[in-house]
Chains A and B, each alone.
Chain A
Amino acid sequence: LAKTTQPISMDSYEGQEVNITCSHNNIATNDYITWYQQFPSQGPRFIIQGYKTKVTNEVASLFIPADRKSSTLSLPRVSLSDTAVYYCLVGVAYNTDKLIFGTGTRLQVFP
């Protein structure tokens, strides 16, 4: 899997937009970018996945520039319940059986 680098932690306030950037300089042509969210004492939960440009769902948006060497997870108007650890995964589609997590970004939302 391509190595990823994320900030260890971020702080925000309720109602703000939060952008978490993940660097993956050695991403391969066939790699997808996937983000997971983990609340305390729970297993991770899939948030969003993309290959290029922009992907949006009911939870978040994922922005991927043309060179695909980084990606940004955007959480609009966060609330206290968005306090969690967010993991960025980059792996070659259909070419690896492993699902490897990094250390993630710990987001703390304050009132």
Chain B
Amino acid sequence: NAGVTQTPKFRVLKTGQSMTLLCAQDMNHEYMYWYRQDPGMGLRLIHYSVGEGTTAKGEVPDGYNVSRLKKQNFLLGLESAAPSQTSVYFCASSAGRGSSTEAFFGQGTRLTVV
């Protein structure tokens, strides 16, 4: 009963490096989301997906790319990391649209860019 799993849990990057965060869900959910949360702040939506093969921009998409090649996986990429991207990243999935259904979250990935 894994739910939503994020990989890795921690990562330190140097400015300019690239990396991919993986989100995997085993609930057969259509909707998946990527958020970032800065210290003492709320969650901000980066990108989201409404189904396999689809992606869309959220509130703060600049500097990030995503892919949803398989229904169960949602990848978040940083092509050239910047210190401003230091944050905790959360992935979520839901069966339905928007705020009408329950969303399930992963444990987060703590990313530091130096």
Contacts and interface: CB of A to CB of B under 8 A. Distances in A.
Contacts of B99: 1, 32, 34, 89-91, 93, 96, 99
A25 B30 CA distance: 31
Interface stretch (B11-19, B35-43, B66-74, B76-84): B35-43
A111 B64 CA distance: 43
Interface residues of B, number: 30
Contact of A97 (B4, B50, B88, B104): B50
B92 interface: yes
A98 B59 CA distance: 9
Interface range for A: 20 to 34
Contacts of B43: 44, 87, 101
B42 A92 contact: no
A104 B50 CA distance: 25
Contact of A42 (B33, B58, B107): B107
A15 to B, nearest CB: 28
Given A100-B59, A101-B35, A46 B102 contact: yes
A16 interface: no
Contacts of B96: 94
Given A43-B106, A98-B58, A99-B103, 4 more contacts: A43-B92, A92-B98, A97-B56, A99-B94
20 contacts: A32-B100, A41-B88, A43-B4, A43-B107, A44-B43, A46-B104, A85-B42, A87-B42, A91-B98, A92-B98, A94-B98, A94-B100, A97-B50, A97-B56, A98-B98, A99-B99, A100-B59, A101-B42, A101-B45, A103-B42
